Structure 1
């Protein structure tokens, strides 16, 4: 998860914008949202099922509860069971540790700054960034995350959502987008081998590389808030699920894409209905 950690997608210059338009047109002609007609660069399982478009959606990564009426798609943490009879997306924290869980990783897989101190996410206490700078480390991190992906498949989830793809943007300049993309391709290949679709979580600036990265749909936090929803739809068509955390972001998302995409507003900590801070709204 986690809101308000991303830079807004910066406007492109005229030449880059033209190239982006041409790329989007080519992708649209290839039906980017279709599992039957669109093939990623890497291996892809024939039986991957993408989330239904413009479906009732609930984001339950903070804890499971009975899905509200009308919900067809649910995202839950890999440690719990999927919601029976619905399309389930399995959340894994693939580029950072869970809060307070740095000790469960080999020490050398935690990103360290030039003074040797572990680099933590600046907004969410206890989430250490993982060190994806070398091929060996990416392979070892992927091996651990892939055990969670195996669990997602065994439990009956249909897709996986690897979070913090954009951790390079919070790494004090130590990580690069190229390293993150190499890492996500490893996870995509494994997810596909298990029959799972895989979503791009945030990182709007990398959406136009979604085919090369083997990504099937998008999970976009605050694309209304950051005016990024069209960036995702240009790359993924209507296979985009949106989570907003503010009234303004929700209003923007619903006004522009409420008749196309799966959109929900949740509270920032994504708590369950038993908590007084619980918020859930739809368009």
Structure 2
């Protein structure tokens, strides 16, 4: 079940992105022969998938559902709740990390561990353990669990899915690679498409150019205004980009450059419902 929070995207600049990809290549080259010959997932073409309406009113409700404000046509909500009636609904699943304190709901060997055998946690959000995506067998087992959530999304009437923490490799202490993350996302995109759901790329701007190979249909970008990365997403996804900013400056930058093209909303960091005192929702 989703906790009432959202981790802000830690953007990679061009140099950092290049370094990440070089690290991934070095790790791949140093892998064992058995790892190098692991089968990888192939993306499945989207069939009968409806994309979210571009440049439409957007609300990000993964911290708790509430009646969408006037003008909203696209909503993202957690897979544990119901979609918003009459709107285009994106279903949030935490696909590459556990929910805070939910390690016990995963097989122990699917939790990423360092050389000392200690579980690796997201350094920004206490209690979120990274999942171990280093082998094809583990990626297959992780995908099976996440795909069951995707099945629930489809059964509830969501039109798309948002697999979060695609960029967990960036917080893995160098243990995970971009190739491993992309293999898992292909397993999820193929399943989502088989259920008639579109699937979005969540963050990981440096992987946007591979969106077609990975079977990804649109993007959800946290803080692309704040980190000057909205253009990276639009080059890959056109106007099918949904932006969440968490600061006034980030919103101003996103609106100045992209308000005539993209769906942009500012939310409070914990994406609370309006009943909470710290609720924030602003648009261009």
Could you tell me the TM-score, scaled by structure 1's length? 0.88
> Aligned residue for 1:105?
106
> Aligned residue for 1:252?
253
> Aligned residue for 2:35?
none
Distance, in Å, in 2 between the alignment partners of 1:78 and 1:193 is 18
| 1:122–1:248 distance in 2 versus 1, CA, 3 Å | same
> Aligned residue for 1:18?
none
Task: After TM superposition, list the pairs within 5 Å mapping 1:205-216 onto structure 2.
Answer: 205-216=206-217
8 Å contact kept, 2:46–2:215: no
Gaps of 5+ in 1: 14-40
Distance, in Å, in 1 between the alignment partners of 2:224 and 2:55 is 16
Task: After TM superposition, list the pairs within 5 Å mapping 1:1-283 onto structure 2.
Answer: 2-10=6-14, 42-283=43-284
Post-superposition Cα deviations, 1:1-36, rounded to whole Å, max 9, x if no partner, equal 7343423331599xxxxxxxxxxxxxxxxxxxxxxx
Offset at residue 43 of structure 1 (A): 1.8
What SS does the aligned partner of 1:64 have? Answer: coil
Could you tell me the TM-score, scaled by structure 2's length? 0.88
Offset at residue 100 of structure 1 (A): 1.0
Distance, in Å, in 1 between the alignment partners of 2:217 and 2:201 is 7
What SS does the aligned partner of 1:153 have? Answer: helix
Distance, in Å, in 1 between the alignment partners of 2:9 and 2:16 is 21
Gaps of 5+ in 2: 18-41
8 Å contact kept, 2:8–2:269: no
8 Å contact kept, 1:3–1:221: no
8 Å contact kept, 1:57–1:73: yes
Distance, in Å, in 2 between the alignment partners of 1:270 and 1:255 is 23
What SS does the aligned partner of 1:127 have? Answer: coil
8 Å contact kept, 1:9–1:204: no
Alignment length, in residue pairs? 256
Q: What is the root-mean-square deviation in Å for CA atoms of aligned residues?
A: 1.4
Distance, in Å, in 2 between the alignment partners of 1:78 and 1:237 is 26
Distance, in Å, in 2 between the alignment partners of 1:210 and 1:51 is 16
Offset at residue 46 of structure 1 (A): 2.2
Post-superposition Cα deviations, 1:207-231, rounded to whole Å, max 9, x if no partner, equal 0000000000000000000100000
8 Å contact kept, 1:3–1:245: no
Distance, in Å, in 1 between the alignment partners of 2:43 and 2:9 is 29
8 Å contact kept, 2:161–2:197: yes
| 1:76–1:4 distance in 2 versus 1, CA, 3 Å | closer
8 Å contact kept, 1:3–1:222: no
8 Å contact kept, 2:43–2:187: no
Distance, in Å, in 2 between the alignment partners of 1:158 and 1:237 is 20
8 Å contact kept, 1:5–1:123: no
Distance, in Å, in 2 between the alignment partners of 1:254 and 1:148 is 34
8 Å contact kept, 2:73–2:88: yes
